[in-house]
Structure 1
Amino acid sequence: MVTWNNLDTLAAFSKLIQLKDCVNIARAMTGENGAARVKKYSAPMAAGLHFNYAAKQVNDDVLAVLAELAKETQAIDKYKELLSGAVINTGEKRLVLHQLARGQQCDAVIADGVDKREFYVSQQKKIAAFAKKVHAGEITNEAGEPYTTVVQIGIGGSDLGPRAIYLALENWARVHDTLKMEAKFISNVDPDDAAAVLQSVDIAHTLFIVVSKSGTTLETLTNETFVKNAIKNAGLEVSKHMLAVTSETSPLAKGADYMAAFFMDDYIGGRYSSSSAVGGAVLSLAFGPEVFADILDGAAETDKLSLNENILENAALLDALIGVYERNVQNYQCTAVLPYSQALSRFPAHLQQLDMESNGKSVNRRGEPIHYATGPVIFGEPGTNGQHSFYQLLHQGTDITPLQFIGFKNSQIGMDVTIQGSTSQQKLCANVVAQIVAFACGKDDSDNNKKFEGGRPSSIIIGDQLTPAALGALLAHFENKVMFQGFIWNLNSFDQEGVQLGKILAKRVLAHETDGALKEYSDLLDI
């Protein structure tokens, strides 16, 4: 039987506080000490990835107490409960089943009288069959011509994760001849977003996927109407160009305007939905269902590794525990995600929603106020671009920001050039290595303007190449990290009440039911 307790009531947390100043990163990472740490502090991940945390402010003593914290909070037991169908989402009284959508093998999870594993598998099979028919030319437009582009219409989790994954694998797919259709995304209710995408595609050869679990998301329905008007204005039939990803009970489920509908349910939250039909439809159409299956395999392998009770062999749990140590003992407020891979250009944006929407909470699972810090602010951009923009603050600013690097030994495309004795990929890898050591060790100088204090902690996830399986492993690693941190902080990481108030007030503005500041701001924008 698991118990849920606030972090500040735990014996392990009290012990952890006593270890705040036990590691000097600059000293620990210098010379042979640093070399030994890099070799020692590494944990295996799925799909051949590794999590190296040598430049974090931890040592064996800290790790031992973190292991005690994992045990005291019953982090693995809570994960097992989640997998078995417990009502982990207490705010909405729902199960949490996103891992079930990617091959997780366990006892049947029955909800609403349905075997949910079978339900998710059936939707994946339905999507795969549809995608294959599109690619084979068995499903065509009005003129009997093939579709060449797919556009996803959605917002939040219906956009950020699938978009990040598509961009991450677009060039890989070109090289491996698996790019079946180009994909684009419409998310913002700003009409310029939809207009720009529509102007960039040939509507007659485009499939549009409307993604809304409830079928009532205002921004998505507005953009859907925008697109429908464009289809009609082109003299085309809407039902030949639109698909829906929604719940079986939503208004979109049986709409006459949709060629096909694929289903999800309330047990998979938006930001965790990339491995469901939300990501499955657009990615299977873009790359083929086999590539999407590889993504799921990498994620499923991560889920399995995340059950290991030895934190040194469980990278997601270890990453989560170190993050709690940094947030609640070292009092760091932010985390920067820095992928040294241009393909991961939108991955930090996805992780921003995943982390901040999940653990940006100030009450516990019982709705009681808590008195310790929870989720950090997440931001990031690809290296080396970030080095020439915000790294100045990371190196010499007044606040210390923990860093999560991601790097690959080999590029996706294979094209390269040698300049001054090294290739572009070697220069990229050299930069990430240099940054880790520079942040950790710093540099002394009589000129304070050129002095680097160092002591800036970082970790790095390293792989051979960004493949579909590696990307799935990365995706699940961060999902599970956020989940474990929610368990440790005693939060409900699977609702998002914080996004609701703005929606309610926006509806009031549009209905002209305003007064006070709401009315004055509305008048300023001529609403």
Structure 2
Amino acid sequence: MLNWKNLDTLSSYAELQKVKAVNLKEVMTGENGAARVKNYSVPMAEGMAYNYGAKAVDEDVLAALVKLASEAQLAEKYEDLYNGDMINTGEKRLVLHQLTRGQLGQDVVVDGENKRAFYVEQQKRIAAFAEKVHSGEIANAAGEKFTTVVQIGIGGSDLGPRAMYLALENWAKTKGLLKMNAQFISNVDPDDAAAVLRNIDVAHSLFILVSKSGTTLETLTNQTFVMNALRKLGLDPAKHMIAVTSATSPIATSPEYLAAFYMDDYIGGRYSSTSAVGGAVLSLAFGPEVFAEFLEGAAAEDKLAAEKDPMKNPDMLDALIGVYERNVLGYESTAILPYSQGLSRFPAHLQQLDMESNGKSVNRFGEPVDYPTGPVIFGEPGTNGQHSFYQLLHQGKDIIPLQFVGFRENQIGMDDTIQGSTSQQKLCANVAAQIVAFACGKEDENRNKNFEGGRPSSIIIGQQLNPRTLGALLAHYENKVMFQGFCWNLNSFDQEGVQLGKVLAKKVLAHETDGALKVYSDLLNI
């Protein structure tokens, strides 16, 4: 029997608050620090590891977090989720994104349909379509191969798939596996669509419209923009466009598309990169085999997340330490700092994943909670961030926990020695230096040059950013957010906070405004 209780009603949380705080600067100095870094590490899937040696935790804090995990029934709630319980209480829906990449528990059957079989069927349909596009069997009106794929979507239909494509683009080029270049149109600002169309060969481009409902205002507006551009060039939009939508949407059987692939209501947009939403564009860009490897990496990490012992479960442990930092230490933000250029848009995806999931002030029953919930997420890839906002991270008044991601090898397989070291060695040297600098600081009589230290961080380390490690990394963060939502007793799978602005925007466009809304509308010449 599951108990859904607020964090502040749990006896283990009261115990956690009484545990003596760790002096991070002290424990990270000298040989003590070396021992922590070696010992405070948990294996992840695909040869990766979650290292929390530079976090402000010790054996006492960790023991309290293990008790919290048990009392909050984190493992049991995850098990219920992947076995098909109705976890999304706000919309009364199942939560099945893990099922797009593997079967963790029992069969999930909805209205007589096996959902795992449904997701596999869509993956097979996408793979077959992609192979026909790559072979030229499906071609443009002139019988010429499509060379570019353009995804039209917004929110989870853009951020995740875009981040995943960028993460693998350079790797695929190096391996000779880039089948088609990919571009993305998301912003309803016409400058976005116009810029993409100017930079591609439209006649050799295949467009993917992604909208679960088939009614998303921004996406349909951009679709029309693209269709008009195709017609102006004398091209038939129906021969240049496919759809990813629900089977019951108005565009599911429309003759305006070459093909339609399906998703369902049990996968939220921000969790949809391993569904048809990411599958279509990634399979067309890299080939179905690469997308399959991506799914296998995610499935392997999901399996680790089912481990009941938090000390052997990297996703759960990362989540618990985050709860400790947010609710006991009082840290309001978290910076995601990937030292890999391929992950340039990964922090933007994690912003939506985390803040849309756990940016809530009521629990899963609609009752107000009296404790902080999801943190503010931001980040940029290193080393660019070091020359930007790291000043505040090092010497600002607020302590902001940090999550680094680093790889021992680059994606290109070559790296010249320049001034005694390779570029990859320089990159990794900066990661190591920053972790210790944040934790230990530096004393200086000149206060302007003094670093207080005590700034906690963790790092996920892998050998190379490739489809399997990317899948594992994505699943790690999805599971971390899920476990934190369980701790806070939130529904992490709806997003009512994005709806009010949409409603008011429709009123503005219909000229049904008064008060401040009318004045702003007039100022913007609507």
Query: What pairs up with 1:344-363 in 2 under 5 angstroms?
Result: 344-363=343-362
Cα pair 2:331 2:400 within 8 Å, conserved: yes
Query: What pairs up with 1:70-89 in 2 under 5 angstroms?
Result: 70-89=69-88
Residue 419 of structure 1: how far off its partner (Å): 2.0
Query: What pairs up with 1:90-239 in 2 under 5 angstroms?
Result: 90-239=89-238
Match for 2:429: what amino acid?
A
Cα pair 2:79 2:105 within 8 Å, conserved: no
RMSD, matched Cα: 0.6
TM score, norm. by length of structure 1 = 0.99
Query: What pairs up with 1:494-509 in 2 under 5 angstroms?
Result: 494-509=493-508
The separation in 2 between residues aligned to 1:429 and 1:145, in whole angstroms, is: 44
Hey, what does 2:289 align to over in structure 1? Answer: 290
Cα pair 1:442 1:455 within 8 Å, conserved: yes
Deviations 1:192-237 (A, max 9, x none): 0000000111111000000000001000000000000011111011
Q: How many residues align?
A: 526
| 3-state DSSP of counterpart to 2:89 | coil
Cα pair 1:126 1:262 within 8 Å, conserved: yes
The separation in 2 between residues aligned to 1:206 and 1:112, in whole angstroms, is: 38
Query: What pairs up with 1:303-452 in 2 under 5 angstroms?
Result: 303-452=302-451
Cα pair 2:338 2:405 within 8 Å, conserved: yes
Moved more, 417-426 or 270-279: 417-426
Hey, what does 2:47 align to over in structure 1? Answer: 48
Deviations 1:369-394 (A, max 9, x none): 00000000000000000000000000
Hey, what does 2:13 align to over in structure 1? Answer: 13
Cα pair 2:151 2:209 within 8 Å, conserved: yes
Match for 1:86: what amino acid?
D
Moved more, 97-106 or 206-215: 97-106
Deviations 1:45-83 (A, max 9, x none): 011100000000101111111000000000000000001
Residue 309 of structure 1: how far off its partner (Å): 1.0
The separation in 2 between residues aligned to 1:103 and 1:322, in whole angstroms, is: 27
Cα pair 2:152 2:223 within 8 Å, conserved: yes
Residue 358 of structure 1: how far off its partner (Å): 0.1
The separation in 1 between residues aligned to 2:394 and 2:21, in whole angstroms, is: 22
The separation in 1 between residues aligned to 2:230 and 2:111, in whole angstroms, is: 38
| 3-state DSSP of counterpart to 1:500 | helix
Displacement over 3 Å in runs of 4+: none
Cα pair 2:130 2:287 within 8 Å, conserved: yes
| 3-state DSSP of counterpart to 2:42 | strand
Q: What residue ranges of structure 2 are gaps of 5+ in the alignment?
A: none
Cα pair 1:70 1:321 within 8 Å, conserved: yes
Q: What residue ranges of structure 1 are gaps of 5+ in the alignment?
A: none
The separation in 1 between residues aligned to 2:350 and 2:65, in whole angstroms, is: 24
Deviations 1:235-279 (A, max 9, x none): 011111000000001011011110000000000000000000000
Cα pair 1:246 1:261 within 8 Å, conserved: yes
| 3-state DSSP of counterpart to 1:491 | coil
Residue 395 of structure 1: how far off its partner (Å): 0.1
What fraction of aligned residue pairs are identical, expressed as a percent?
Answer: 73
Deviations 1:412-431 (A, max 9, x none): 01232322211110000000
| 3-state DSSP of counterpart to 2:511 | coil
| 3-state DSSP of counterpart to 2:50 | strand
Residue 112 of structure 1: how far off its partner (Å): 2.4
| 3-state DSSP of counterpart to 1:197 | helix
The separation in 1 between residues aligned to 2:501 and 2:103, in whole angstroms, is: 36
The separation in 2 between residues aligned to 1:309 and 1:47, in whole angstroms, is: 20
The separation in 1 between residues aligned to 2:52 and 2:177, in whole angstroms, is: 35
Residue 163 of structure 1: how far off its partner (Å): 0.1
